[in-house]
Amino acid sequence: MAAAWFAIVSAMLAVYAVLDGFDFGAGIVHRLVARTDEERRAVLAAIGPVWDGNEVWLIAAGGVLFTAFPKVYATAFSGFYMGLMVVLWLLILRGVAIEFRSHQDHPLWREFWDTVFSLASVLLAVVFGTTLGNLVRGVPLGKEGLPGMPLFTNFRPGREPGILDWYTGLVGLFTLATLAGHGALYLAWRTIGPVRERSLAFARMAWKAVIVLWTAATAATAWVQPTAFSNLVARPWALAFVALSAFGIFGVFRFPGRGRDLAAFLCSSAFLFGMVATALAGNYPFWLRSTIDPSYSLAASDAAAARYGMGVALAWWAVGIMLVAGYFTYLFHSIRGKVGADPTAGY
């Protein structure tokens, strides 16, 4: 049962990375691919119907983590308290920027909120990447739990690292480039005219950077946490996620030049899903690895809730996820098609 819930939480986090990832990506690139107010409104209209729903996946994943692995939830939230507050405020700023930018018809007002939206999206991408890097590298989890981690110590992985070091920073940059490319391909699929053309041009550059950073992050992971690779080799089923990522990176270069914008975006989504799933599969059975003593690490089986409660929760989760899947299917079907640079439309 613990393994099943580990897979469920991991899948929800991977779906969140795909869905809210293109929202972040659109925020990262929108000042670069949209240069007039009408074009920027088109970018916001492209994500307007879905961005708030996409963010709910993070809340849902947190709720499921609390249900199935309350000890992991409590330990992680106490240790990453500073990071969680940063995420909360950045998410608030993104939402406020989207909703407020058109409340005043003044260039300075709109430029301010566009800048807030862009900076918050950039920082969120880096923060989430850094968080994933911490899960892979390990955290200073001791006998008494995980104390509040400092933002940084000496920028080196070790026995008692900070949230930021050269490894987690590298993963953060890799995530930033990936989400930027992901968002650019989403905008290329959903927009027309100059915004689409600039998005495609930006995506080509971003995904070239992803290749370089992916290689560097993979080599760094092999040095910092070699057990992640041995775990993947020992679990042949996990290699399917690696293959999914490889197929995705192939598609993001192949399909845009053929005018298949949706196929390119789906390949980008496959790459993101595969990368998150690969990282968590390599980490299994641990949610939190201890850099102090491996015996202090929190494994799924040790941190799981009571089996009866997990069984009841699984039944309710199955009903809920079917409703959510139906809602998102209807939502994306209803917004199919292109968003034009219409100054009277959307945001």
pLDDT, the chain, mean? 90
- pTM beyond 0.85: the answer is yes
pLDDT bin (cut points 50, 70, 90) of residue 343 is very low
C-alpha–C-alpha distance, residues 269 and 249, integer Å: 10
- Evaluate whether 178 touches 271 at the Cβ level (below 8 Å): yes
Amino acid present at 251: G
Judged by phi (left if over 0) then psi (alpha if -120 to 50, else beta), residue 193 lies in left
Give me the pLDDT at residue 346, please. 52
> What tokens does 174 get?
């890799």
List the one residue out of 244, 174, 179 whose CA is nearest residue 209.
Answer: 174
C-alpha–C-alpha distance, residues 133 and 220, integer Å: 11
Q: What is the mean pLDDT of residues 36-47?
A: 91
Q: Parallel, antiparallel, or unpaired for β 298-299 and 286-288?
A: antiparallel
Domains defined for the chain, CATH in brackets: 2-334 (1.20.1630.10)
- Evaluate whether 167 touches 220 at the Cβ level (below 8 Å): yes
89-143 confidence digits (pLDDT tens): 999 999 999 989 888 888 899 999 999 999 999 999 999 999 999 999 989 888 8
215-240 confidence digits (pLDDT tens): 999 999 999 998 988 888 888 888 99
**In terms of DSSP H, where are the helices of 103-192?**
107-137, 166-190
**How far does Cα 307 stand from its chain's mean position?**
30
DSSP structure class, residue 259: T
C-alpha–C-alpha distance, residues 327 and 329, integer Å: 5
C-alpha–C-alpha distance, residues 86 and 55, integer Å: 15
Please tell me whether residue 230 adopts helix, strand or coil conformation: helix
